[in-house]
A = this chain, B = another copy of it.
Amino acid sequence: MTTGGTDSTTAARAALSRLFEPSDTVGLGLVSVVGPIDALRIARGEIHAGHDVRAQLHDLLGMPDDRRDHLQEGLSRWAPRLGDLAPERDLATLERLTGRLVTPESSEWPAALHDLQTSAPLCLWVRGNHEIPNLGRLAAVVGSRDSTNYGSSVTADMASGLASRGYSVVSGGAYGIDAQAHRAALATTDDGAFPATVALLACGVDRYYPAGNEELLRTVARSGLLISEVPPGSSPTRWRFLQRNRLIAALSAVTVVVEARWRSGALNTAHHAAGLGRPVGAVPGSVHSANSAGCHRLLRDGTAVCVTDAADVAELAGPLGEPPLGDRAREDAEPARDQDGLTIPDLLVLDGLPVRAFTTVDKLASVAGLSIREVLRGLARLELAGLAHRTSVGWRRQKE
């Protein structure tokens, strides 16, 4: 259950998880080529990546005609954060919270994450007294933050029914459907044989976000599991929310969307799950409810199957402990797209822009994990899009 004494591989992964944003393909590619320890040394400039390493990385990442120097872009992106690296401190913080770092080298590493291939996380920061259950025992129940009474009631029945069938209910710790799913699961099982619920966070596991869910998330940490791929102290950003969704989808045998608007983060989770060949369920509702429009969209386009209760969901998940249905949807899976038509660096810059204060390009580079050049380009595009505002004292987010 514990990682034992922190070895250098574990420490390197802990450090890299602060250096790289989730799904940083260059960083993750570098780790897959040279391993975490040398990847950290290359990122720190302690050693240089030879021609061999660059060629392998290029094979891994590049298009045939691609002349971009991916590694150089990565190094520029990581540089502003090198000063913040303190993996021992982060691991000590985790230990104070009686947490542990689960890495691909640990026996507890969920095999299901291999399905993420090149975007598998570097490590998982985990709080809780249980091991992470096998894929077949995890069922995700997600949905809108602004849930209706109908959505809350269906979520409670479903999560409770799943927990009483022996499934750990996975969700994102947000207001609305997520919180209701966690609560109902916690209220249903207390025998401690398995974690009633698992919250996947977009911030560090030492933070309770949103603030109104602090009490709930503390309970999840005690009776269930709190999991994040970003280190303690990390704040939740739009990019991290979107990437967190892929972890919910990958860890769970089935993902159910209870309520979602036509455009909703929950649909992003559903598409991640479908892309991984995991079954997706959607709860039907009134055609007059905007909060069900996203569910009906999933049903109509064939991404999701209609589910009305826990029995339906359990049927989709397959027998407890069994692997899921497999590659059902892999072929026609679309890659996840951001929701506003912005590029990934733009989103990272946007997330870093304060609303009520001003910031500098240097600070933005460190906060967003981007090179100075990427930040400048991103700010230019955001300014054009009316999303960023430049003043004589720095940049801030354009008020909407």
Contacts A293-B308, A300-B306 given; 19 further ones with Cβ under 8 A? A150-B288, A153-B288, A154-B288, A283-B287, A284-B284, A284-B286, A284-B287, A284-B292, A284-B295, A284-B296, A284-B299, A284-B306, A285-B286, A296-B308, A299-B299, A299-B306, A300-B308, A300-B312, A306-B306
Top 8 A-B pairs ranked by shortest CB distance? A284-B284, A299-B306, A287-B308, A300-B306, A296-B306, A296-B308, A284-B296, A154-B287
Quickly give the copy total for this chain. Answer: 2
On chain B, the residues within 8 Å of A154 by CB distance are 287-288
- What are 12 sample pairs from A and B whose C-beta atoms fall under 8 A apart? A154-B287, A284-B292, A284-B306, A285-B285, A285-B287, A286-B286, A287-B309, A296-B306, A299-B299, A299-B306, A300-B308, A306-B306
Task: Using CB atoms and an 8 Å cutoff, list the residues of chain A in contact with chain B.
Answer: 150, 153-154, 283-288, 292-293, 295-296, 299-300, 305-309, 312
On chain B, the residues within 8 Å of A299 by CB distance are 284, 299, 306
Considering the chains assembled together, what is the distance between the CA atoms of A85 and B9 in angstroms? Answer: 93
**Chain B, residue nearest A287 (CB):** B308
On chain B, the residues within 8 Å of A283 by CB distance are 287
**Minimal beta-carbon separation of A157 from chain B (angstroms):** 8
**Chain B, residue nearest A299 (CB):** B306
The answer on a CB contact under 8 Å between B286 and A150 is yes
